[in-house]
Structure 1
């Protein structure tokens, strides 16, 4: 009999900035052992290559789903990206979740890498190109996403269903795009349950308007989850990470979505520690423990309202709030699987009652 957590909960491997990719496999095995249903990897160039890491996880785990959250359509040739996705789906026995997004790294632009802007038209067209390649078509495409006279994967193709394509976003128009053309959406962290309720409604309504089954378009919410940690470690994981989020342009967006006054974000960006950063991202310059002092400007009620913090039981209760609000699945972020053991157990205990 499966556990509720295997249908509803996941976590990241290698959360945050890392220089060593090897712990990913052990963390994934732990996630599978404690009853999580999905492990996720966020792509970081140089240390978190999804083909390499998710391939290793696919070959060492047996049942847990394996999610990429997220890559980008235009950082690889369409053939290369489609090949990676279908190979991971085959290698994992159909357990792969293919997440894409369009966000730029704060402080840089896609044009710095010689790439065009990631418009909604580009996202939609490249999702279509990828699916057609997975189905065995030879694709001829000329449009905003590029110029490809004849694309085709080599035969025979793996005898597996294509992986779902998920879109990482939170903007209304892109959420509507996800509802119309993608298999699901991955929402970022630090959104309150009420905000997730509203954004999930945008996705589901767009799916229904497009003649699709809203229930077939998954809403996956990301929730910073830290249970039973000493106060100092909790502050580093939750508030230190929040500084990295709010120092970027995402801070303005999440404050607006949650109905928060943006004044603390302005004060955060004016902190002396960031004086010489310019447009550079704090998360590329500082470790979370180096940002705890800066985090004092972030209201504690923001973190309390948008994260799962405290005892394992309290964290499990908060996760249920997000599910009740309309999330179909939750990514427990900020802690490795080992640190999520008590939260997963508390979640399953209550769900079984």
Structure 2
């Protein structure tokens, strides 16, 4: 089982390059960054994690810029999104961003995808929350076409373009892994159709994780890697996830200044 961290990199905490170096020095396998382009002031949509939205949600750096900085400062650390809000991103630009990250990192990029929860944020990007899952599907499929075809084209309900050239192509063959976030009733449909792995948040719809993982792999008819993020760094939790069949544990790393972050990473590293 591999160990990484999932976190929010902001202008108020440790920088991405320093964080990447610290993780690699301590033997962590990966860094996954959250994304919010902005937070609407209305705050009408309830946050799934509780009553008050934490400050770091408002201040996130662009994940691909931050991950590129982390990749440039390291040689082995895998760099991924946990999650990229695909329904708020143009798929042609997203394909280029991830392929560029994969190229500059030497094939270490991972694309975690999801549809998000903040309806006002979606609407500011022109996305109708009612159709966001269909939009997510088409954009991911379009990105994969752009990554893998010399002349890529896509014709769908939401995404439509005639043959185009899109470079660079990813280093990884056939492309960076696409990990599908979420744990709702239709999540496994998306994992089976266009995902290369499943990446739920621990404690949000993961109450029977061993049975869920078995169901997913049975439905897919293949081995589907499972990464769990937002994990509290406790030995008994890690042991339970390993027994459940999880492939990657992503410890929840609070957004803190560099000194506090390094001390926390030292304690986390003791678990593996």
TM-score, structure 1 as length reference: 0.62
Q: Give the distance between the partners of 1:21 and 1:130, measured in 2 at CA.
A: 32
Does the 8 A contact of 2:183 with 2:204 survive in 1?
no
CA distance in 1, matches of 2:8, 2:266: 16
Matched, 1:171 2:198: no
Give the paired residue count. 243
Q: Is the 8 A contact 2:99 2:171 kept in 1?
A: no
Q: Distance in 1 between matches of 2:84 and 2:253?
A: 19
Name the counterpart of 2:86: 73
Whose helix proportion is higher, 1 or 2?
Answer: 1
SS in 2 for 1:331: strand
> In the TM superposition, what is the alpha-carbon distance from 1:50 to its structure 2 partner?
1.7
Q: What is the root-mean-square deviation of aligned Cα atoms in Å?
A: 2.5
1:188 deviates by 1.1
CA displacement 1:253-302 (0-9 Å, x = unmatched): xxxxxxxxxxxxxxxxxxxxxxxxxxxxxxxxxxxxxxxxxxxxxxxxxx
Structure 1, residues 6-28: CA drift from partner, whole Å, max 9, x if none?
A: x511102436xx43466222122
Gaps of 5+ in 2: 39-59, 255-260
Q: Which residue of 1 aligns with 2:248?
A: 329
Q: Mapping of 1:333-352 within 5 angstroms?
A: 333-335=252-254, 336=261, 338-345=263-270, 347-348=271-272
Alignment partner of 2:239 out of 309, 320, 330: 320
Q: Which has the larger radius of gyration?
A: 1
The ranges of structure 1 where at least 4 consecutive aligned residues each deviate by more than 4 angstroms after the TM superposition are 191-194
Residue in 2 that maps onto 1:34: 26
- The residue number in structure 2 matching 1:290 is none
Q: 1:60/1:89 Cα in 2 relative to 1: closer, same or farther (>3 Å)?
A: same
Tell me the TM-score normalized by structure 2: 0.79
Q: Is the 8 A contact 2:145 2:154 kept in 1?
A: no
Cα deviation for residue 137 of structure 1 reads 3.2
SS of aligned partner of 2:82: strand
Q: How does 1:40-189 map to 2 (within 5 A)?
A: 40-45=32-37, 47-105=60-118, 108=120, 110-117=122-129, 118-154=131-167, 157=169, 159-161=171-173, 162-189=175-202
